[in-house]
Structure 1
Amino acid sequence: MPTLPPERAPRSTQQPHQHRSVAESFGADAERYDRTRPGYPQALVDRIVTACPGPAPDLLDVGCGTGIAARQFAAAGCRVLGVDPDARMAGIARRSGLQVEVATIEAWDPAGRTFDAVVSGQTWHWVDPVAGAAKAALALRPGGPLALFWNGGRPAPELAAAFAEVYRRVAPDALAARQWSRPTADPYAELCARAAEGIRAVGAFGEPEQWRHAWERSYTRAQWLDQLPTTGGHHQLPPAVLDEVLLGVGTAIDAVGGSFTMRYTTLAVTAVRTAAPTTTAPHRDLTAG
């Protein structure tokens, strides 16, 4: 398995988990989020479940949102408890029969409960990487994996360039534009490195490894435009600007025939709980300010 290098990840002046206004925006349209956001490759789910001690793992899903990943793990035979700071997202997850407690993972109290695995899909960048890993270590049974994963997607280069041009023209400084301004198809590589740093700092895990799973999904124009407002930063756009973005992106998709294939890579950082944490990483209240 490839391991992640121990050098420090590049730091911005403000870490992703401190962008609370963005982190808390996804629940504004929780129904759409649940309806449109992609799941995760079954190979990843199976690999995590196989790594768990015991035949019917107890699993903690951090930042479970509306339950997209949690439902996949439940279908694979896990007993899942979700934790999410947004009551609106948690409400959608509970409709499908999932148990969810509303809290940030940094503030969440395991109350003596332990789990065979802790997972987090598309979420860990909203978590303090050291405090989150320390809490995961407290909740994990020895030998259990911590698995943090993200879907990174890219269409064909011509369409990606057309999308980038829309944002350059309509919302050049918006957070939502960043995914198309990056020159790499690996937008979550820095987040993986930062997560690995946090895991190492806690001193309770083996060396973090990185897994990669490639897969594809086709989108019609309508499907992509339905999902787009749920992605980071779009809720912060003024309605008129968002309308312009959707019009421009839709026109770009029309120009390639009205549909396209998104090439996804799911990146995962995993580490096995080996010992009690050597640091408890004092919790900072991330809900204020």
Structure 2
Amino acid sequence: MGELPFGAIAAEYDRHRPAPPEDLVDDLERLGGSVLDVGCGTGKAAVAMAERGLAVLGLEPDERMAAIAAGHGIEVEIGTFEAWDAGGRQFDLLTFSDSWHFVDPAVGTRRAAELLRPGGKVARIWNSYLLEPSAIEALDRVYRRLAPEITQSWRPSAAWAPVRPDDDPLVRGGFMPLRTRSYKSAGRSSADEFVAMAATTSNHLRLGDRLAPLMSEVHAAIEALGGAVRMHRTTFLALARLN
């Protein structure tokens, strides 16, 4: 995992990013055992698992993000997944909550095999958001003008599709795919809530000085729609087992 731009907005990340769905945490709880939560951030998934009694160690490359996770009661070590020295420790479950896409897949597959006990599992978790057509149209006009390089995560795309076994580095590396599940929810986000969460995503953070004017116009577009948008969230869980 390389250097990510989240540390400077760690408090905002912790405040505005959603916790994992309860039924997803139910499934992780049933897996049991010791957990390494890779790229744990401020501890959203780690806290949810620890509250169910799982023994969770967080691994996070950014000290500022890790400090917040530690403040939530999570034991965290600093490092990237590719280079971290585990000191011979192994785990029953590796979780990647919106973090697998930051890992070098070739190195990550080898590291996962090294860090898991026989029969251990990898759980990759990621979120997809979909807005209703009127909101997509309004926001697309803003993004095409101010940040055309961003692929909006509220529009379905192949990048957010479930993992396909024939194109999965873990499967190619000898892991057995178990299943992919999805968990759906929906709710309304105010203009303030929408821009606050969007501004914590890596593709927005990389805009630098262009972020503030973009978020101002996104906010205005949502206000023109009535002050809020309905957001449909799908959370995916892809499980694979070490043979």
Taking structure 2 as the reference length, the TM-score comes to 0.91
Q: Which runs of 5+ in 2 are unaligned?
A: none
Q: How does 1:136-215 map to 2 (within 5 A)?
A: 136-173=112-149, 177-179=150-152, 184=156, 187-189=159-161, 192-193=163-164, 197-203=168-174, 205-215=175-185
Give the whole-Å Cα distance in 2 for the aligned partners of 1:161 and 1:25.
Answer: 29
Greater fraction of residues in strand = 2
Secondary structure of 2:186's counterpart equals: strand
Query: What's the CA shift string for 1:113-134, capped at 9, x where partnerless?
Result: 1222110100100001132122
- How far did 1:197 drift? 2.0
Question: Is this contact kept in 1: 2:165–2:171, CA < 8 A?
Answer: no
Is 1:61 matched up with 2:37?
Answer: yes
Change in CA separation of 1:194 and 1:101 when aligned onto 2, cut-off 3 Å: farther
Q: How does 1:248-267 map to 2 (within 5 A)?
A: 248-267=217-236
Change in CA separation of 1:42 and 1:24 when aligned onto 2, cut-off 3 Å: same
Size of the aligned set, in residue pairs, is: 243
Give the whole-Å Cα distance in 1 for the aligned partners of 2:198 and 2:171.
Answer: 35
Give the whole-Å Cα distance in 2 for the aligned partners of 1:194 and 1:31.
Answer: 37
Give the whole-Å Cα distance in 2 for the aligned partners of 1:144 and 1:151.
Answer: 24
Residue 108 of structure 1: aligned partner: 84
- How far did 1:183 drift? 5.7
Q: Which 10-residue stretch deviates more, 263-272 or 243-252?
A: 243-252
Query: What's the CA shift string for 1:190-241, capped at 9, x where partnerless?
Result: 7x349962112322x22353221111232111111222211122222243x3
Q: How does 1:34-73 map to 2 (within 5 A)?
A: 34-52=14-32, 57-73=33-49
Secondary structure of 1:24's counterpart equals: coil
Is 1:226 matched up with 2:196?
Answer: yes
- How far did 1:27 drift? 1.3
Give the whole-Å Cα distance in 2 for the aligned partners of 1:206 and 1:224.
Answer: 38
AA partner of residue 43 (structure 1)? D
Question: Is this contact kept in 2: 1:152–1:186, CA < 8 A?
Answer: no
Change in CA separation of 1:217 and 1:74 when aligned onto 2, cut-off 3 Å: farther
- Percent of aligned pairs sharing the same letter: 37
- How far did 1:171 drift? 2.1
Residue 81 of structure 1: aligned partner: 57
Give the whole-Å Cα distance in 2 for the aligned partners of 1:263 and 1:185.
Answer: 15
Question: Is this contact kept in 1: 2:130–2:156, CA < 8 A?
Answer: no
Query: What's the CA shift string for 1:230-259, capped at 9, x where partnerless?
Result: 1122222243x3222112211221122212
Q: Which 10-residue stretch deviates more, 62-71 or 109-118?
A: 109-118
> Cα RMSD over matched residues?
2.1
Change in CA separation of 1:141 and 1:217 when aligned onto 2, cut-off 3 Å: farther
- How far did 1:162 drift? 1.2
Question: Is this contact kept in 2: 1:196–1:269, CA < 8 A?
Answer: no
Residue 285 of structure 1: aligned partner: none
Q: Which runs of 5+ in 1 are unaligned?
A: 1-16, 275-289
Is 1:246 matched up with 2:215?
Answer: yes
Change in CA separation of 1:110 and 1:45 when aligned onto 2, cut-off 3 Å: same
Give the whole-Å Cα distance in 2 for the aligned partners of 1:70 and 1:41.
Answer: 13
Instruction: Report runs of 4+ in structure 1 exceeding 6 Å deviation.
Output: none
Query: What's the CA shift string for 1:136-189, capped at 9, x where partnerless?
Result: 22222223321001011011121012111101112223xxx2126x86256422
Query: What's the CA shift string for 1:98-118, capped at 9, x where partnerless?
Result: 111111111112222122211
Taking structure 1 as the reference length, the TM-score comes to 0.77
